[in-house]
Every structure is written in structure tokens, then in C-alpha cells.
Structure 1
Amino acid sequence: MQEKLRIAVQKSGRLSEDSLKLLKECGIGVPNGNNQLKINAENFDAEILFLRDDDIPEYVQDGVADIGFVGENVVLEKNKTADIVERLGYGKCRLSIALPKTRKKRTVKDLDGMKIATSYPFILNKWLKQNRLKADIHVISGSVEIAPRIGLADAICDLVSSGSTLFSNELYEFETILKSEAVLISGKKLSPKRRALLEKLLFRIRSVKKAKYNKYVMLNAPNKSIGKICSYLPGINSPTIVPLAKKDWSSVHSVISESDFWNVIENLKAAGAEGILIIPIEKMID
């Protein structure tokens, strides 16, 4: 029987949608499984396992799945034996300690001796020890934010993205103890065949990620300005310069980083560039 890479994906939720989208961008089809827990992928030697996010680290550790798409916060909380092989850049959030608006604190030392409700006792306890603090941790599986209002805890430690849930429960974010995003984890005992499939998948994922963080730029410029313009456009190796039918003018093609986008565009305009065209990149392979 041909070996396939067993990929664990959260069976529902935003992280599941983004992970399946990434697989699609990597050329891997995931058919609509009609709520099946395991389906074969298309165009790649893989099968997709749809699991609860909390279970994915253990399934990868035990070898039931070879790799898994999961939140970094889940990986650290479950403390299983698995390697983070790629940070994926989506599903970003933070694990923070929040306090009632009526309870103003100045430093983390003010948390000493408090009762803190959380769904992440392992991460919280580790952070408390690192900061030489002691607290009474109350483990709650859901609706953590209500704990201070019902007198169960003085504070909470929970995931925060927009902060709207904290606001609606009259809480404020006091201290961030972990920044998290979606990651790809791998078991430690993959067969050579499955290890090769993982490397193939990582190559595709990195190409997709790199494309998202860069833009393709085309512009026209007088030849006398080409030198200065090229100094702003390093590209992958160097800009491509193509002579135009218009005398003493050329077209310049290159790639610019998303983070430098506006500064670069402003510099190009100032250097004499015209007709600047910016194009998204679907894949980018070195």
C-alpha cells in the first residue's frame, strides 16, 4: 500500500477554513467530505483527518497523524512531543491576563495571590513561575470572561483577538503572556517517504507565504533615472529592464516587500517613475 502523509486539520472554525484554503493554494484538493472524519486529498499523496483542535497535538505525538495544522497556544498548552516545523502567519491571537475595570493594577507583581480563571493552566502556571508569582488557578473550559462577575476569580487568562469580548464583560487587557498563530506541527518518527512528502508540502507552503508578503511591480522610466530607481528595487536578484519603443525610456520589473511597499512607491515616484503597476503574486519560488 502506498504511504500517504496524514494531515490533521481542525474540523470546524476559522482555523480550519484558513488551513484548507492554504492547502488549496498549495495545489492540494480537499473534497467536501460530508462530515467524514477522514478523506483522501486530491493531487497529493495525503489523507486529511478532521479532528478537534485540542486533540491534534496528541494525535501527532502518537503517530495517528503525521502533521497537524493547529494554534500554537494549543501546542504549548497540551505540552506533547511534536515539532513546530512552520509558522503559518494566520490565526493570530494572544493569551492575556485581563482584570475587571474596577481593579487597576500597575505591575505584574500585583497579580501575586490572586485567583485567576483560565482554560490554559499549563501556560499560565509556567508564566507565573517565570515571574516568581503565586496564584490560585481555576480551570474553566468555556466562558472564562464571566468568572470575575460571578465571584469565581479576581482575573482571567484567556485568548484575545479584537478585545471586544473583554470590553463587553467590563474587563481590560492587563498583560500579554503569549503571542500565538497557526503552526504546522510534525511527529518525530516519520518514515522516509512521509518525511519527503512533508518537505514537498513545506516547499509549497513557503512559496505561497512568500508570495503573500511580496508584490510584483512594473513601471516606466527615462533611462537617465534607471540607476536611481533600481537602487530602490533589489528584486529577487536584480530588477529586469526592458527597452521601450519610446526613445530613451525603459520598463522596469521587480518584486518589493509588502512591509516596504509605500516607502518604495514614494521613492520611485520621486525618482521619475511613471505608470507604476502593482500585481499580486500567486506563488513565489526562489
Structure 2
Amino acid sequence: MKTLKIAIQKSGRLNEKSVELLKNCGLSFENYKSSLISTVSNFPLEILFLRDDDIPEYVQDGIADLGIVGENVISETEVEVSFLQLLGFGKCTLKLAVQNNTEIETLQDLEGKAIATSYPVILKKFLDKNQIDAEIRTISGSVEISPGLGLSDAIFDIVSTGGTLKSNGLKPFADVMSSQAILIGRKGEEDNPLIQELIQRIQSVLRAKETKYVVLNAAAENVEQIIKLLPGVKSPTIVPLAEEGWVAIHTVIPERDFWEKITLLKAAGAQGIVVMPIEKIIL
């Protein structure tokens, strides 16, 4: 059986979460910081630790079968790969930002101005779409200091919290692209059984992170009303309690609806609500 290769960041904002995801999928390996390759002992998989900019090309050229990388890197490198699964971490936005005391107020005010960025391809497409003729100055790192040094009138860069912009006297000006980590694969290899198995494992971990396991007690006469509030994977499990006329209801609730559902359940007569994390959900 052919051993798969998956490329992830050697260091950077996606490394820790990528390693955590793979370990949560039941893969056993060492995260060697000084090594470029780690072999999984319980699955036919090798993990390549690479620079994030190199990952898309490694996958496109077949050196790696899979990769975990930011959507922004895919857009910047313009490679031909398959998008297999959004992963829900490494979320950020690529924004234009300007100095706090600038006279730039609209996109058209960028006409003829200089914009510093590490993402010239994405920026060029955005400017062309908005029919703006600006000078793009490509800088690899520390983009946020360029306006203060007089190198540019604006910057285009990744923004997660906005703290770096604020500390450099900058303010967000326009959102250009949202990004998160994504699992990519080589074109034409999507149906590989090993790839499909790994995707299934990843999806089970992601589903579990998005839900809570809930057990609650309720009087029998309130069960019908409570069940209407519960989505469950298929339907809630109902178990009679030792006390006559009472049951325990087991279900899962999406994280996004959790507190709203809990409030409604209590109003419908739910008592003794116990909430537990879920490790995996396999459909």
C-alpha cells in the first residue's frame, strides 16, 4: 500500500493546530522540530514539515499528496489543487490598512498611491477589479512599518486581531479576502481510499468540536416539548429513570446554538443538565 505524504507548516501560525488535528485523528507521530519528515506509526502516512509558501507547489507537483495551508496562500501562488476540507482554524482576513492621520478615505483615493504587501497577486486582482491603478511594492515581512518609514501610503496584509496595526499607527481600511486553513490535495487523486479515510477522520474531529453532548432529566409529560428543541445526530436517546414518571434525555447540540438551546430547554422543564465535550462524531 502506497504511503501518503501530507505537507504542513514547519513553523508559523498553522503548525500547532495542524499537528493537533492530525493527532486528534488518531495518528501517532513525533513532531520533530529539527526534521523535515515524520513517519506516522499507525497509518501509511508521512508528514512533511515545510514553509507554508512551498506547500501548494509540493502538492500540485505530486511531491506531497495532501497539504494543510491557508486559503490566502493558495490564492497567492495560483496553483492547481483540489480543495478537500475547510478546517476551521487559522482564520484571518486580508485587509488594506492606512495610517490613522491619512487623507485616504475611499478606495478610489488609492489611485496613484503606493501599497506595500507580501501578497502582490491577490492585491493586484483586487485593484484591477476595482479599476484602481496603484503601485504595488512587494515586501517580505514587517509590512506594517512601511508607511511610517515613508515606503508606502498603505499596506495590504493578514490581520487576525488588529493589534499589530494599532501598535504601528494603522487602521483597517477595506476587507479584501477571508482565509482559514484548508486541506488540499493533488488534482485527480481525490478518490484515493487512504485520502478518503483520512478526510473522514478529519471530518469526525471537526464535527465533535462543533457540538456538545448533553444529558438532561425531564418529567415524562415534558418530553414531547423538549424533543422538539433537540436536533441530535438522528434523534435524542430517552432512558427511564428510577423515579417513576421521569426520564433522562441524551442528545448533541451544535456549539453555535448552545446557550440559546439551554435557555429554551430549561423553560420547557429540563433539569439536571450535564454538558460534556465530544471527541469524535462518525456518521
Q: TM-score, normalised by structure 2?
A: 0.97
SS in 1 for 2:14: helix
- Tell me what 2:219 maps to: 222
Shift of 1:189: 4.3
Asked if residue 282 in structure 1 is aligned to residue 279 in structure 2, the reply is yes
- Tell me what 1:241 maps to: 238
Distance 1:55 1:231, change over 3 A: same
Shift of 1:57: 0.7
Q: Which runs of 5+ in 1 are unaligned?
A: none
- Tell me what 2:2 maps to: 3
Asked if residue 210 in structure 1 is aligned to residue 207 in structure 2, the reply is yes
Shift of 1:112: 2.0
Q: Which region of structure 1 is more displaced relative to structure 2, 157-166 or 103-112?
A: 103-112
1:10-30 per-residue CA deviation (whole Å, 9 max, x = no partner) reads 111231111011000001112
Paired-residue identity, %: 52
- Tell me what 2:176 maps to: 177
8 Å Cα contact 2:190/2:196 also seen in 1: no
1:7-50 per-residue CA deviation (whole Å, 9 max, x = no partner) reads 10111123111101100000111224361212211211011111
1:140-219 alignment runs, 5 A limit: 140-190=139-189, 195-219=192-216
SS in 1 for 2:56: helix
8 Å Cα contact 2:10/2:33 also seen in 1: no
Shift of 1:237: 1.3
SS in 2 for 1:84: strand
Q: 1:258 aligns with which of 231, 234, 255?
A: 255
**Counterparts of 2:206 and 2:224, CA distance in 1:** 30
SS in 2 for 1:266: helix
1:184-234 per-residue CA deviation (whole Å, 9 max, x = no partner) reads 111114397xx2111110000000000000111100011111111111012
8 Å Cα contact 1:208/1:284 also seen in 2: yes
8 Å Cα contact 2:67/2:185 also seen in 1: yes
1:70-111 per-residue CA deviation (whole Å, 9 max, x = no partner) reads 111111101111121111000111110000000144332222
SS in 2 for 1:14: coil
Distance 1:62 1:171, change over 3 A: same
Asked if residue 272 in structure 1 is aligned to residue 259 in structure 2, the reply is no
Q: Which runs of 5+ in 2 are unaligned?
A: none
- Tell me what 2:64 maps to: 65
Q: Report the residue type matching 1:235 in the other structure.
A: G
**Counterparts of 2:128 and 2:31, CA distance in 1:** 46
How many aligned residue pairs are there?
283
1:211-267 per-residue CA deviation (whole Å, 9 max, x = no partner) reads 000111100011111111111012111111111111111111111110000110000
